[in-house]
Amino acid sequence: MRSSVPALTEPAAHGLISIILPTYNERENILATVGAVLKAVGDPVEVIVVDDDSPDQTWKLVAEIGDPRVKVLRRRGVRGLASAVNRGIIEARGELIGWMDVDHSMPAELLTEMVRRAHEAPVVIGSRYVGGGGDARPRLRVLTSRWVNGLASLVLGGAVKDYDSGFIVVRREVFDQVTLLPVGYGAYFIDFIYHCRKRGLTVLELPYTLVDRTLGTSKSMPSLGRFFLQGLGYILTIIQARLRR
């Protein structure tokens, strides 16, 4: 079975770009996201789907695409967003490496500009909180995110507006200076961005509007209890990032 994805395009004015898509039960979203990424980035590109052995067989759907630009890593007995991203980074071969959510909350089209602007700055993130950006999710999630970013700005410095974006393109050499902590859900991103800045790396923010998923189940808010536990994890990460060398 071969799924429908964009045909090979003309080579873009860049070297190989690696885009990592961490997944768990994203069967309803994955094919459209892969197609959108391939179209936005242009060749040469590799899409690395890191799937945590999804019961809905997201990994199988990706394997059936039959496109040499798309690779799936099925992890058994291991789960977690940060560790999935880290595994993708280890596997990536590109001169630029990026990652994003697959639930259509983040516009893959922005990758075109993110890749282009990565020639100006080593770290480029999609940002909800710079001019022109926005957050169209339910009010509780928006307020929580703004509170987390406010605390991060207070403790870590206000040069970055969207510390927990999770939407990024970086130059490969960034990982020679900054280690990504492969633990937890989304809080890892705060630590990573803070230490990029601490090493003197320019972080460029490009505006976009985050929207709520329409298909599938949220991994960050499956229940109020887990949602608030994750919030506590963000607070601890902010404090630990400030203390970590």
Q: What's the pLDDT score for residue 3?
A: 47
First-to-last alpha carbon distance for the chain, in angstroms, is: 49
**Could you give the CA distance from residue 98 to residue 68 in angstroms, rounded to a whole number?**
19
**Pick from 113, 103, 108, 61: nearest CA to 81:** 103
**Could you give the CA distance from residue 47 to residue 34 in angstroms, rounded to a whole number?**
7
Q: Which CATH class is domain 17-243?
A: alpha beta
Q: What sign has the CA pseudo-torsion 182, 188, 193, 198? A: negative
Which residues touch 133 (CB under 8 Å, ≥6 apart)? Answer: 127, 162, 205, 207, 208, 209
Q: What is the pLDDT of residues 168-203, one digit of tens each?
A: 999 999 999 999 999 888 889 999 999 999 999 999
| pTM for this model (two decimals) | 0.89
Per-residue pLDDT band for 229 (boundaries 50, 70, 90) equals: low
**Could you give the CA distance from residue 54 to residue 75 in angstroms, rounded to a whole number?**
9
Is the pLDDT at 205 greater than 90? The verdict is yes
